[in-house]
Amino acid sequence: MGRLFGTDGVRGVANSELTPELAFKLGKAGAHVLSRDSSRPVFLIGKDTRLSGDMLEDALSAGILAVGGNVIKVGVLPTPAIAYLVKAYRADAGVVISASHNPFEYNGIKFFNGDGFKLDDRIEDEIEDIILRNIDVNSHITGDMLGRSLEADDESVSKYADFLKSTIDTDIKGIKLVLDCANGAAYKVAEKVYSELGAEITIIGNKPDGTNINDGFGSTHPEKLQREVVKQGALLGLAYDGDADRLIAVDEQGRIIDGDKLICICAKMMKEAGSLDDDIVTATVMSNLGFHKYMENMGCSVEVTSVGDRYVLESMLKTGSKIGGEQSGHIIFLNHTTTGDGILSSLQLVQAVIRSGKKPSELSDEIEIFPQVLRNAKVKNENKERFMEDGDIKAAIEDVERAVAGSGRLLIRPSGTEPLVRVMLEGQDVAHITKLAEELADLLTERFG
């Protein structure tokens, strides 16, 4: 068994790679490592709408109970809701069962500490070491030392919704919006938040059946949302992913506003309001050249991190940056929360649009985005870090870098959650960079797939 934790928890095909046995071990090891300061630690557990969520939730809970921890199951809620509620319930840790934007057959398990932050590498390594070395951490405790499942109150959704509503102070009554909930974890709370704020909403992707999460809906499939926004004459379309920690928006013309542009629009609002501390914005190596030019023109500096919202957060905590995120729509508003939150991000975007007095399309067009092509090379998990050892691959990469020198850039990185190596090319000639990206991705697949 290789490394368990990727950039966003443990993921795999449910009941094949991410088995109940592994979930049980993660529960035991996680409870052991995260609860050393508490004789009876409490773990808050949430999940998205995947069919496999029930199976993994029960196995994970059994592992926690077996080492004397208690669990509170709050059911289907967004990942960022658990990051918030773990503090509201004064739990020692939170756990989310979700594979985010991945297809329904995948699932994942990720932990939050008692302050609502994702675990750092050191703690993940400790949990992983216990599992890989098959260490028995509970010595088979018995009797009243075992944990129990506690009843969650009925206020989890309301508590989280009230928090979200508190993050804006702009009246959005009567604003026409379309929400796409990806048939995922946002399908109840997003409607509740926007309805209670008085917006006029149309909702799609809000009929989960256990197998349709992210299937043709949500932030990775915005086509239906684009059509619905134009049909309804809405101001904005707002698309979340399966666990609702991402946002992709659609302007009133039906055009995509990606994470880079969302950060630009919201950072501008924050700068004008005097809440962008030291004019620092945080982004990843995937952020577009146009993003950097916009920030420079706005008088802001950009801290660049590796891909993954955990690395964005680590940088923000060090620099004091109050907004940071990814092109994919993970955006962290550190003055409000500890992790990416799609619904919170959408509220900030709506607020930014209203405060600006402009149409979303006008705000979006202020940011010139350079053409960017992304191609995935399908490789075996064990080969994701080895491609630079191949002489032909190394030579091909050097050829591509020379071809785009001065007018673009090449970025190659292994996926943290899937058996893929991502090839990203940026440049002015779309046909040319597409050809280069496809050729390089095909070569990677041939050699390491």
Q: What is the pLDDT of residue 120?
A: 81
> Checking phi first, is residue 272 left (phi over 0); if not, alpha (psi -120 to 50) or beta?
alpha
Q: Does 134 score more than 80 pLDDT?
A: yes
* Distance between CA atoms of residues 361 and 345, nearest Å: 18
Question: Residue 38: which pLDDT band, with cuts at 50, 70 and 90?
Answer: low
The dihedral formed by the CA atoms of 108, 110, 116 and 118, expressed in degrees to the nearest 10? -120
| Contact (CB, 8 A) for 50 and 147 | no
Average pLDDT, rounded, for the chain: 93
| Residue set of the binding site | 100, 241, 243, 245
If phi over 0 gives left and psi between -120 and 50 gives alpha, with beta otherwise, what is residue 176? beta
Side chain identity, residue 45: I
Cα 346 to Cα 394: distance, rounded to the nearest angstrom: 41
pLDDT of residue 7: 67
- Which two structure tokens, joined as six digits, stand for 181? 């909930």
| Mean pLDDT of the region 272-290 | 93
Residue corresponding to tokens 């929360």: 337
| DSSP letter string, 358-385 | S-HHHHHHTSPPPPEEEEEEE--GGGTT
- Range list of H helices, 78-178: 79-88, 121-132, 156-165
Arithmetic mean of pLDDT, 171-175 = 98
Q: Which helix (H) or strand (E) holds 150?
A: strand 149-150
User: What are the tokens at 367?
Assistant: 């940011």
Q: Is 30 exposed, middle or buried (0-12, 13-18, 19+ CB in 10 A)?
A: buried
| Segment 219-233, tens digit of pLDDT | 999 999 999 999 999
Residue count of the chain: 449
pLDDT band at 47 (very low <50, low <70, confident <90, very high): very high
Q: For residue 277, how many other CB atoms are within 10 A of its CB?
A: 14
Catalytic status, residue 301? no
Contact 355, 270 (CB under 8 A): no
Which domains, from first to last, does the chain contain? 5-155 (3.40.120.10), 162-365 (3.40.120.10), 372-448 (3.30.310.50)
Q: Among the options 35, 52, 100, 156, which is catalytic?
A: 100
% the chain with pLDDT above 70: 98
Q: What is the pLDDT of residues 393-432, one digit of tens each?
A: 999 999 999 998 877 889 898 887 788 999 999 988 899 9
The CA-atom distances, in angstroms, between 258 and each of 109, 169, 232, 328 are: 27, 24, 21, 7
Residue 158, SS3? helix
Average pLDDT on 60-64 reads 97
- C-alpha angle 91-208-119 in degrees, rounded to nearest 5: 30
Q: Is the pLDDT of residue 303 over 90?
A: yes
pLDDT tops 60 at residue 2: no
Q: What mean pLDDT do residues 83-101 have?
A: 95
Instruction: Kindly state the average pLDDT of the residues 238-245.
Output: 97
Identify the band that residue 1 occupies on the pLDDT scale cut at 50, 70 and 90.
Answer: very low
Residues tagged in the binding site annotation for Mg(2+): 100, 241, 243, 245
Kindly report the pTM of this predicted structure.
Answer: 0.87
Tokens of 246: 């991402």
Contact between residue 384 and residue 435 where contact means Cβ atoms under 8 Å apart? no
> Averaged over 85-103, what is the pLDDT?
94
Kind of pairing between the strands at 42-47 and 70-76: parallel
Which residues are 249's β-sheet partners? Answer: 238, 257
d(CA 222, CA 22): 34
